[in-house]
Amino acid sequence: MTINVKEMTTYNISDDGETVTLSLEDEAGKATSLKFRIPDLGNLAITLPSLIEAALRRQLRDASFRYAFPMGAWSIEQATDPASLIVTLRTKDGFGVSFSMPRNNALQLAHSLSEIDVSPAAMLTH
């Protein structure tokens, strides 16, 4: 069954925190919802940015297109594993993603950022 979504309306987190329900309205105006277990919702969250980027690259016929979120804030904190850090990037409207990062990768990232060429022609990947 295919549901053509007109708009997302609300969401609800179960009392036990095991599931999230996304409520939406289809193009006919009918209310419906999608209920996700947390692991499945996490998989969806990881997949959506690349799906959006791939669709826009196809639509724009531009393989170099990047779907970039404007960053509003970042934080770095110690993970429970002493050899790792948690790096969180957030947009101004609150969307955030946290990454577990080994300390040596964090040092490499810091070094790369300190040496970045900010000219328009420069591109850095690791």
**pLDDT of the residue at 124:** 52
Question: Which domain does 46 fall in, by range?
Answer: 5-60
Per-residue CA distances from 65 to 17, 76, 118, 122, 123 (Å): 36, 28, 19, 16, 14
38 and 13 share a domain?
A: yes
- pTM tops 0.75: no
* Order of all β-strands in the sheet with 31-37: 5-13, 19-26, 31-37
* 49 and 26 share one domain: yes
Number of domains in the chain: 2
Say whether both 50 and 76 belong to one domain: no
pLDDT at 18: 97
Q: What whole-number distance in Å separates Cα of residue 96 and Cα of residue 89?
A: 5
Ranges in the chain, pLDDT < 70 = 119-126
Quick one: tokens of 102? 């080994």
Residues 50 and 78 in one domain: no
Instruction: For the chain, give the percent of residues with pLDDT over 70.
Output: 93
The answer to the question of residue 98 being in a domain is yes
**What is the structure's pLDDT at 28?**
94
